[in-house]
Structure 1
């Protein structure tokens, strides 16, 4: 019998479409020089600068590299899951890419899932490179293997929180406004968001506020995890709450065109 070569039109399985979209998103991210600079080069430069930071700024008792490295890891999560995602999605929305993809067989939630999967893959590469470099220049993490397990969990929660906030901005503001807001938030959190400078070095009133922000929760949680082996309950609750609220708001307000 001859093989059946008749066409069988129809969409591919959803998992296949999501995986293909994630691979495409990852290729687009890797080809964008600005995104690579933001997501990897800047955290690497800050990590290397941390070896000399003790001569410029007092980060508290202990070795400067041990204090700064968890903050740099938190910054990497912020730069990828918030700033890069918001800017890329904002301009895709402006140029009609999201509108066209939304009309394809790929479900709209599948498009967002593909973006998130690409972000997670990129973050694994980021965190691996940063950890290896930090260890090479003298980082001595405490907490054992449990601390690295908490790094993965807190990074996942941070990605959910920052990613939802990035999509919230990209889905409601114009692309130019998204670019400005995302970069402004990045700079503000980098300087005073509790990422690089421990919360204990801030005034008490400000530290109490920063503990309730996703940046402060992530930075403080990672520093505590690499000191004692566990971040405590508050960072986990704060990141989970931000992720849940921001996701709900994004689902209600996101505009595809």
Structure 2
């Protein structure tokens, strides 16, 4: 099982498309936006630090959602899961490996963008905040792994890829990861606060502002996580 997990992680990391889109694009987007837009304060913190957190979460969500949903759909379509059924690797263990691989693959983009924020823009946070940001961002992305599982066991091949991209894009934009909700119309800002992307970002935005990440928003994110996991479990049972 550990061997298969290691091979799965290496296989994904060797994919130029995956690493370019989930790591290269968020890092490039972070550098571009922070260089183009005027620096100021957003929710009690500097824009460079705020947007560093936003893009790190954006990339981690992409790694979690795209890293599990599309591969599952592709392997189901091409018959690989039927071949695995002939081996000692049971469907439950296969799913655990996919989730573990996607969870591990969230870390490179988080670290890359935090490093870019520190080295390129000199984002200055105390050591404990830097250390707390990594698990906060990682935990914020984990509910989307459940959503990826549900997509992978619901749609086939290219359809799963398209659905994942659409959900990823819409939730990220509407959830305030591309632009702060302060520039949104009031109605869109209200919508953003219901979305899991906003609440996931809130965990780390509060951290860099020197506030406790434990809030009512964390409960909203937990509710979304429960809904995504429930949907994933239902689709997995149906597909199995």
Q: Is the 8 A contact 1:66 1:139 kept in 2?
A: no
Equivalent pair of 1:146/1:229 in contact (CA under 8 Å): no
- Report the CA distance shift for 1:46/1:59 in structure 2 as closer, same or farther (over 3 A): farther
Matching of residue 84 in structure 1 with residue 57 in structure 2: no
Partner of 1:208 in structure 2?
190
- 5 Å matches for 1:1-257? 17=1, 19-55=2-38, 60=42, 63-142=46-125, 145-146=128-129, 148-159=131-142, 161-254=143-236, 255-256=238-239
Shift of 1:23: 0.8
- Give yes or no for contact 1:87–1:175 (8 Å, CA) kept in 2: yes
Q: CA deviation at 1:256?
A: 4.3
Is the contact between residue 194 and residue 220 of structure 1 (CA under 8 Å) also seen in structure 2? no
- Secondary structure of 1:52's counterpart equals helix
Q: Report the counterpart of residue 11 of structure 1 in structure 2.
A: none
Structure 2 gaps of 5+ residues are none
Distance (Å, rounded) in 2 between the aligned partners of 1:245 and 1:207: 22
- TM-score normalized with structure 1 length: 0.82
1:53–1:64 contact (8 Å) kept in structure 2 = no
Q: What do residues 209-256 of structure 1 show as CA deviations (whole Å, max 9, x unaligned)?
A: 222211111123221211124323233222222222211221122254
More off after superposition, 106-115 vs 186-195: 186-195
In structure 1, distance between residues paired with 2:112 and 2:153 = 31
Structure-2-length-normalised TM-score: 0.88
Structure 1 unaligned regions, length at least 5: 1-16
Quickly say closer, same or farther: Cα 1:204–1:143, change in 2 above 3 A.
Answer: farther
State whether residues 140 and 201 of structure 2, in contact with CA within 8 Å, keep that contact through their aligned partners in structure 1: no
Output the CA distance in 1 between the equivalents of 2:203 and 2:163: 26
- CA separation of 1:58 and 1:170: change in aligned 2, threshold 3 A: farther
Q: Show structure 1 runs of 4+ deviating over 4 A.
A: 57-62, 141-144
* Pair 1:209–1:151, CA change in 2 (3 A): farther
Partner Cα distance (1:28, 1:131) in 2: 25
